Amino acid sequence: MSYLDHLPPFELDAYEKMNPENAKRICQMYQCESKSKIEQYCSSAGFEIIRSYETHSTDLIFESSASLLEWHWASTNGVFDPSLVTEERLQSYLAP
């Protein structure tokens, strides 16, 4: 099982800049909870927690802008729509 306690800023920015038509829907898909709350849910349901740890994966590197868009599409179960990403939107997101 994996969970998020918040959406990373780079994801929120991607949804708002590259897919504003779907940004609200995408963000509503996530139900962010703290690690302790998730552990409480699991224990209450009768699961034995064998190992629990946090990871931080902010160092995502993509081979191309196409692979970035594919990752957002896949990680949102297809709600992020790459066909809505214009060159202007992409450059707005990629700009520092």
Cα dist from 28 to 54, 58, 80, whole Å: 23, 21, 13
H/E element, 17: helix 9-18
Q: Is the pLDDT of residue 1 over 90?
A: no
Q: Given this model, what pLDDT does residue 58 score?
A: 62
| Selection from 34, 41, 35, 39 nearest residue 49 by Cα | 39
Q: pLDDT (tens digit, 9 = 90+) per residue, 21-55?
A: 999 999 998 888 888 999 999 999 999 999 888 77
Lowest-confidence pick of 14-18, 52-56, 57-61: 57-61
Confidence band, pLDDT 50/70/90 cuts, at residue 13: very high
What gap in Å lies between CA 22 and CA 96, rounded to an integer? 23
Q: Say if CB 58 and CB 8 are below 8 A apart.
A: yes
